[in-house]
A and B are shown apart, each in its own frame.
Chain A
Amino acid sequence: MAVSGFLGKKNIDNTEIKINFPEEIYANIPFYLNISVISKNKFLDSHLLNIEVNGSVSFVDIISANQKITNTQKILFNSRGIHEIKQINIFSSFPFNFFVRSRKVLINAETIVFPEPLENENFNLAKDNEKTDGTSNETDKVAEELSNIKNYEPGDNFRHIHWKHYARTDKLKTKLFTGEISPPIIIDIRIPKTSPETMISFATNEIIKAYNKNIPVGLITNDNFFPPSKTYYHKLMLLRELALYEY
């Protein structure tokens, strides 16, 4: 019994846990948290580990000595703002199924949870190109009028590369079309159409939609004005503002 107790302790001791949040977490939408468990034991493997984060448990059958294993775990936060995961519980019934040993691992990880996106037809700002999805849009755009040519940047659509120009000059250029430049949207959440919280959720939905459709989007809040832009960083900045917004 003593030996099994000792082994049970060694089994969960000397394990380090690292968690990795995904970039976008929305309230009330489950997401997958990456949990890395690293065994720091030099000789003993860790067996039959249950890892509990915020009430949800995932199972790891073995981590060999000095190895790392990454598990994903479904987690849900139900409000926007800053959320913390202060501790993770590891527990295991190894070696015998008589007792369960557990250990708290303090990690103090924080993340910003974006507001829950809510669909609202009256609030539908990014209405253009509603009928078709993004991929078929692209083929449509090729038929549209060429408006400009710019230097190629990594990430530009291959279809828009000016191949003729490349053949002539060996330089990559990207064609720009008139249809691509959609009119920017600016969302003002100060206008209280509904409750502020729902408003924030609608705004979140619109920002995501606009970004997906490549429409520049801006935001006006009580304190700040964010001019429209299409970049991913801009999107995150707007969502963060909404996540931390206080009215």
Chain B
Amino acid sequence: MNINKLVTLNTLLISVVAIIAVAGYLNIFVTIFFTAAIGINIGNLKYIELYFPRFLINLSGIVVIAATVLNFEISQMNTTLINTLVMLISLKLLEQKKYRDFMQITLMAVFILAASSLLNLSMIFVIYILSEVFLIILQLILLNVMANNSTGRITKRYFYKLLKPSLIILFCSIPAAVLLFLILPRTDYPMLDFLNNQQTAETGFSDSVRLGSIKTIQDNDKTAFIAEMKKIDSNYLYWRGAVFDTFQNNQWNSRHREKDESQISSSNSYKNNTNYTIYLNPTNRKIMYTLNIPEKINYKKQFNHYKNRKEYISEKTIKSKTSYEGLSRLNKSFQTEPPDKDIYLQLPEIGKEIKIISKKLRGNTLSEAAENILHYLTSNEFEYTQKNLPVSEAPLKEFLTNLKKGNCEYFASAMGILLRLNGIPARLVGGYRGGYYDNSGYYTVLQSNAHVWVEAYIGKSWHTFDPTPADFEAYTDKSRLKFMKRYKLFFDKMSYYWNIFVINYDFSKQLKGLNKAKKIFGDWNLNISFLQKTIIFVFISIAFFTYIYTFRKKKKTVNQKFIDYFDKTLAEWSVTRSPGEGLLASAEKIKNKQISEKMQTIAKTYYNKAYGPTNISKQEIRLLLKELHNIRKKFNNT
């Protein structure tokens, strides 16, 4: 295998993985240019030899950077930078690459992947990063081999052997990275948020809902949010979002939110309280969703709570994954102060036909009227559909008198208007209905669960009415989902854990973990007696010294043993043998002549035997050692 080609191939893989991660953000021209660069490189591996001169590449690089600077916009910063990096990588790929060029491309790929994490930190990022890290480790090792290898070729077997350390580094880095993730200090302030000013599509509910517009929400295949909670009766699975108070020009609006008292309610203890945590996907809107009927939420950023409307509105647009805890009461009604009749009885101009219907449904009491309206709309006369919705100039009239088919906002609007015509204050609530429960303990709520229902003020409280005759089992039963959606739920499960363990991990959780560890450790310490501590201490000391001893006592060859012992004996007559000096020469340095001669003879015998035709035997060494020992004994006696 040609090592240069191997490195080139790996470089291409590294670039491709990085670019796939940001593919959605690339300019069409950049994509084409990059594809062409990859194509030329693949050609260069086997068929052609096409490299562009370095000065041309450098010049183009300067042009690209100049273009970036000229087109720089703070709101598009991240995408611009990514496009620039991809252009530079493509240019770099076009030249004849040396060690440092490979390094530069690898580094740029790392930058691109890092930038992609700012745009979208989803579960799939783990897959990108793992494959990229593996390829980069392999790349660094291959480059190292390339730098050391003078032949430029390696065998296949050798290549496979290089995979082993690459995998070891990869799998050892994972726990190391997790550990760093857990313990590294972090700020509460999202420092890199400014890079993420990118406009993405808005999803979910806004402050207005036009007849027929819910369908656009429902057509979206994505997950709206995940709610971590215990399983509840599916009749109560209404996720409250926006409250609409005014109907005008076939559109419901939230006009009078500001007239409501905005305050944070204290926690009241009701029966049927349910705690839950919502992991909300970015909506680019301010509306927060809660389980009907919300009592309070706990959100670390600023938000407004409209007490009489039970609306929670974030102070800032929700641009990244967000989570908050909520407390809700599972009920179909809640008490408030009497609503402003000017607002909740407001009506647009309405045709005679609808007024006739409303008169027909009048009851003796307000609640009877409400029941009549509900029965009327849920009767067999009306049909729930998501196709061919009435879209004339007066769609509501069309719905009630002619077509009698529609989806939730037609039913809810009709009920709202009919209630108001009967003098009952009414409003629409937009949110989600149902959710798919996973046994790990959470509901997945999809955008297709979007729903609108009605609230009517009767007596002293708002009552929930859902006039839509849809089959709501379909919104809670996983088995009735299409295959693709079920497949999506699996990934939602993955991303649920990703959110919990990665996105949502912050300083407070870090502290909690630390305290927990401290507690465990502290308790453990208290539970052992002094005796046990001593035993542990002694055990550890023994283990330590055994380790040191075995490490120091490495096996010596017999020759080394002899030379070392010889040196020791010399040392007793205060002679040290300098490195490289022969035994004979140092033996002569001994001032005591008798000893000196004896040592010399020993050295000579040793040399004769050690460098003679046969190897010196252990027996002979032992004899020599004995003689040395005798000399030392003599010294000690005198």
Listed in ascending order, the chain A residues whose CB lies under 8 Å from chain B are 2-4, 6-7, 44-45, 47-48, 59, 61-62, 64, 81-84, 86, 93-97, 108, 110-112, 232-233, 236, 240, 244
| A interface: dominant SS | mixed
Inter-chain contact A45/B140, CB cutoff 8 Å: no
Given A2-B176, A47-B162, A93-B144, answer yes or no on A82-B169 (Cβ-Cβ < 8 Å). Answer: no
A2 cross-chain contacts in B, Cβ below 8 A: 176
A111 cross-chain contacts in B, Cβ below 8 A: 611
Inter-chain contact B144/A95, CB cutoff 8 Å: yes
Q: How far is the CA of A108 from the CA of B577 in the complex (A)?
A: 13
Inter-chain contact A45/B611, CB cutoff 8 Å: no
B169 cross-chain contacts in A, Cβ below 8 A: 3-4, 7, 95
Q: How far is the CA of A89 from the CA of B144 in the complex (A)?
A: 20
- Say if the beta carbon of B164 comes within 8 Å of chain A: yes
Given A81-B582, A82-B584, A240-B611, answer yes or no on A64-B161 (Cβ-Cβ < 8 Å). Answer: yes
| B interface: dominant SS | helix
Contact of B141 (CB < 8 Å), options: A61, A96, A232: A96
Inter-chain contact A94/B580, CB cutoff 8 Å: no
How many B residues touch A, CB cutoff 8 Å?
36
Contact of A83 (CB < 8 Å), options: B145, B176, B580, B584: B580
Residue with the highest number of chain B CB atoms closer than 10 Å, among A82, A111, A232? A82
Q: How far is the CA of A64 from the CA of B162 in the complex (A)?
A: 11
Instruction: Name which residue of chain A comes closest to B588, CB basis.
Output: A246
- Say if the beta carbon of B607 comes within 8 Å of chain A: yes
A95 cross-chain contacts in B, Cβ below 8 A: 137, 140-141, 144, 165, 169
Q: How far is the CA of A61 from the CA of B583 in the complex (A)?
A: 37
B351 cross-chain contacts in A, Cβ below 8 A: none
Instruction: Name which residue of chain A comes closest to B171, CB basis.
Output: A3
Given A3-B169, A3-B176, A108-B560, answer yes or no on A244-B584 (Cβ-Cβ < 8 Å). Answer: yes
Instruction: Name which residue of chain B comes closest to A18, CB basis.
Output: B557
For the complex with contacts A47-B162, A61-B149, A93-B144, 13 further pairs of A-B residues with Cβ separation under 8 Å are A4-B169, A7-B168, A45-B165, A61-B145, A84-B579, A84-B580, A93-B147, A95-B141, A95-B144, A95-B165, A110-B582, A240-B607, A240-B611
Shortest Cβ distance from B338 into chain A, in angstroms? 67
A47 cross-chain contacts in B, Cβ below 8 A: 141, 145, 161-162, 165
Given A2-B176, A81-B582, A236-B613, answer yes or no on A93-B148 (Cβ-Cβ < 8 Å). Answer: yes
A6 cross-chain contacts in B, Cβ below 8 A: 172
Inter-chain contact B148/A48, CB cutoff 8 Å: yes
Inter-chain contact B173/A3, CB cutoff 8 Å: yes
Q: How far is the CA of A22 from the CA of B592 in the complex (A)?
A: 37
Contact of B145 (CB < 8 Å), options: A48, A81, A236: A48
Q: How far is the CA of A7 from the CA of B148 in the complex (A)?
A: 18
Q: How far is the CA of A65 from the CA of B561 in the complex (A)?
A: 29
Q: Would you mind naming 17 contact pairs between A and B with Cβ atoms under 8 Å apart? A: A2-B176, A3-B169, A3-B173, A7-B169, A45-B161, A47-B161, A82-B582, A82-B583, A93-B148, A94-B165, A95-B140, A95-B144, A95-B165, A108-B560, A112-B607, A232-B613, A244-B584
Within 8 A of A (CB), among B561-582: 563-564, 579-582
Shortest Cβ distance from A190 into chain B, in angstroms? 21
Q: How far is the CA of A97 from the CA of B103 in the complex (A)?
A: 11
Inter-chain contact B144/A96, CB cutoff 8 Å: yes
- Say if the beta carbon of B158 comes within 8 Å of chain A: yes
Q: How far is the CA of A167 from the CA of B141 in the complex (A)?
A: 68
A7 cross-chain contacts in B, Cβ below 8 A: 165, 168-169
Shortest Cβ distance from A192 into chain B, in angstroms? 23
Q: How far is the CA of A93 from the CA of B158 in the complex (A)?
A: 17
Instruction: Name which residue of chain B comes closest to A82, CB basis.
Output: B582
- Say if the beta carbon of B22 comes within 8 Å of chain A: no
Inter-chain contact B148/A86, CB cutoff 8 Å: no
Inter-chain contact B607/A82, CB cutoff 8 Å: yes
Given A62-B161, A84-B579, A96-B140, answer yes or no on A110-B563 (Cβ-Cβ < 8 Å). Answer: yes
A97 cross-chain contacts in B, Cβ below 8 A: 140, 143-144, 147
Q: How far is the CA of A194 from the CA of B47 in the complex (A)?
A: 70
Within 8 A of A (CB), among B397-419: none
Inter-chain contact A59/B563, CB cutoff 8 Å: no
Q: How far is the CA of A61 from the CA of B148 in the complex (A)?
A: 8
Given A95-B165, A108-B563, answer yes or no on A86-B145 (Cβ-Cβ < 8 Å). Answer: no
Given A93-B148, A244-B607, answer yes or no on A86-B579 (Cβ-Cβ < 8 Å). Answer: yes
Shortest Cβ distance from B411 into chain A, in angstroms? 61
Inter-chain contact A3/B172, CB cutoff 8 Å: yes
Shortest Cβ distance from A44 into chain B, in angstroms? 7
Shortest Cβ distance from A120 into chain B, in angstroms? 27
B137 cross-chain contacts in A, Cβ below 8 A: 95
Q: Kindly supply a per-residue 1/0 record for chain B positions 164-192, scoring 1 wherever the CB is within 8 Å of any chain A CB and 0 otherwise.
A: 11001100110010000000000000000
Q: How far is the CA of A59 from the CA of B579 in the complex (A)?
A: 26
Q: Kindly supply a per-residue 1/0 record for chain B positions 151-168, scoring 1 wherever the CB is within 8 Å of any chain A CB and 0 otherwise.
A: 000100010011011001
Q: How far is the CA of A78 from the CA of B53 in the complex (A)?
A: 51
Shortest Cβ distance from B278 into chain A, in angstroms? 38
Given A3-B176, A4-B169, answer yes or no on A233-B140 (Cβ-Cβ < 8 Å). Answer: no
Q: How far is the CA of A86 from the CA of B168 in the complex (A)?
A: 35
B164 cross-chain contacts in A, Cβ below 8 A: 44-45
Q: How far is the CA of A233 from the CA of B608 in the complex (A)?
A: 12
